[in-house]
Amino acid sequence: MLAIPSSIIKNMIAHARELAPHECCGILSGTEHTIAEAYRITNILAALSEQDLTRFDGAKLTDLQRLSPEERADIAFQMDAREMAMAQRDIRSKSLDLLGFYHSHTFSPARPSQTDITIAMEFESYRAKLHLPEPFHLIVSVEHSDQPSIRAYRIRESKPTEVPIHTLP
């Protein structure tokens, strides 16, 4: 179970709609199983060079290389590292934890893609050394923009497990 204030759910959905067809992304702070705050982070994918794209894996990389820079942000996101570091710093100053990451899917359901799983495992490989708690991975689907859906997952050993969201008033 993950508890999220309704204002934050609305904020994530609004973020996804504002950026569609591009994917949006952000990070979430809180304690244990309750989200306290969402930070919008810029998706810098369209600004990445061809060489930068190689941080993605095989199939996704091939797809990205086929598209124009603008179109790339429709199928993937890359968080701005500086903004992410600033948000992490703010989270620490409030004595909260980095509890999760969110991003949108603009053409598909709210389920982790292979790329999402691969990068979640990459994060897992260094997370403990930075003393960060295991994150929740949230996906907002605005595939049907009048019926947005939002789902949360834990991703362990490359296997996503859905975590029910409890909306707080």
Q: Which residues make up the interface to Zn ion (CB under 5 A)?
A: 113, 116
With both helix axes pointing from N to C terminus, report the angle between 58-66 and 114-127 in degrees, rounded to the nearest 10: 120
Stretch that binds another protein, among 3-11, 23-31, 146-154, 161-169 (CB under 8 A): 23-31
ω into 21 cis (within 30 of 0): yes
CB of 165 vs another protein, minimal distance in Å: 19
Rounded distance between C-alpha atoms, residue 69 and residue 97, angstroms: 33
Q: Taking contact as CB under 8 A, which single stretch among the options 7-15, 32-40, 99-107, 160-168 is the one that binds another protein?
A: 99-107
CA of residue 25 relative to chain centroid, distance: 5
Residue 159 corresponds to which amino acid? K
The smaller minimum CB distance to another protein, of residues 2 and 103, is found at: 103
- Comparing CB distances to another protein, the nearer of 123 and 165 is 123
Alpha-carbon span 20 to 130, nearest angstrom: 33
Q: Looking at 2-10, 11-19, 32-40, 55-63, which segment touches another protein (CB under 8 A)?
A: 55-63
Q: Which residues, other chains included, contact 52 with Cβ-Cβ below 8 Å and sequence gap of 6+?
A: 78
Note whether 103 and 24 are within 8 A (CB). Answer: yes
Name the amino acid, one letter, at 18.
E
84 binds, among Zn ion, another protein, none (CB under 5 to 8 A by kind): another protein
Cβ distance to Zn ion smaller for residue 29 or 118 = 118
Q: Under DSSP, is residue 144 helix (H, G, I), strand (E, B) or coil?
A: coil
Residue numbers of the site for another protein (CB under 8 A)?
Answer: 23, 25, 27, 44-45, 47-49, 51-52, 54-56, 60, 75-82, 84-85, 88-89, 101, 103, 105-108, 112-113, 115-116, 119-120, 122-123, 125-126, 129-131
